[in-house]
Amino acid sequence: MRGRVAVTGSSGLIGSALVRSLRADGYHVVPLVRHEASNPDEVQWDPSGADVAQNATALLGCDALVHLAGAGVGDHRWTAAYKEEIRDSRVFGTAALAEALATMDDPPRTWLCGSAVGFYGDTGDRPVDETAPPGEGFLADVCQEWEAAALPAAAAGVRVVHPRTGLVVARGGGAWGRLFPIFRAGLGGRLGNGRQYWSHISLHDHIAALRFLLAEGASAPGGPVNLTAPEPVTNREVTRVMGQVLGRPTLFPVPAPALRLALGEFATDVLGSQRVLPRRLLDAGFTFVHPGVEDAVRAAWEGDAP
């Protein structure tokens, strides 16, 4: 047995892939679930933070915690109520875990507490790494509150890492998963002017990076770490690659006004540009299997699994 790792969000795209990867290597994975535990591996936790003792008990004996739970950013139109759900599901859950960790005599040594490249806001064509300040906008504000909610655990001596995730290239879910059927039908095209940068990462590399960050060695960094491929590309290039890999034309660009009509406020982020570089991962010696977008798209289309 390699160790005991608690995971929230274990049923999601990234969480389920991480659980499979860890278990395949002999780790004892403990899914933390909000509902009553339905199998021996699961443990119930309270994301509201009302029961600190329950959350601390759920983490007893764990060497590490990976916190991935949160309402999907692109799952619904951004009404005021859903924006509140996006924020609260991240900030309150993180605060609840941080408080529990801070009360434990022997907490998990490492906490991977999810975040996102939305932290940087719209960067245009300007490349940014982890040294960049926060940007502006709803997602940037959420990411700042999300990361700040983990501070009590860091103050208690837990090694806290914030993986700032980019767009995960996968067929099985997430925003990119919705693109594959559209392009397969020959209906794909650039979004808006297509000049906005997309900071992507293959599912394989995302899971490998999380595993790298779980390591206890000195080479594994703490704090914010960008989980994006080293070669961010424009939406126009993504469109070309998707058409090439799937063997379909890409003749139907989606005008910006149509996106705003369909998506509401979320269209601002779809049309925004984020050229984010994984500086800390590269400096720590992490090697990407799919550094380019074509590598990532082909891996996803051919069913590559971490």
pTM for the full predicted model: 0.93
Q: How many CA atoms lie within 13 A of 192 on its CB side?
A: 20
Q: What tens digit of pLDDT does each residue of 20-38 get?
A: 999 999 999 999 998 888 8
298: region left, alpha or beta (phi > 0 left; psi from -120 to 50 alpha): alpha
Q: Look up the CATH number of domain 4-301.
A: 3.40.50.720
From first to last of its 306 residues, the chain has per-residue pLDDT tens of 469 999 999 999 999 999 999 999 999 999 999 888 888 889 999 999 889 999 999 999 999 999 999 988 877 788 899 999 999 999 999 999 999 999 999 999 999 999 999 999 999 999 999 999 999 999 999 999 999 999 999 999 999 999 999 999 999 888 888 889 989 999 889 988 999 999 999 999 999 999 999 986 545 667 999 999 999 999 999 999 999 999 999 988 887 776 676 566 767 777 789 999 999 999 999 999 999 999 999 999 998 655
What is the longest distance spanned by two Cα atoms in the chain? 60
Q: What tens digit of pLDDT does each residue of 235-260 get?
A: 999 999 999 999 999 988 887 776 67
What residue spans define the domains of the chain? Answer: 4-301
Contact in structure between 273 and 122 (CB atoms under 8 Å): yes
DSSP per-residue string spanning 27-71: -EEEEEESSPP-STT-EE--TTSS-HHHHHHHTTT-SEEEE----
* Residue found under tokens 């329950």: 54
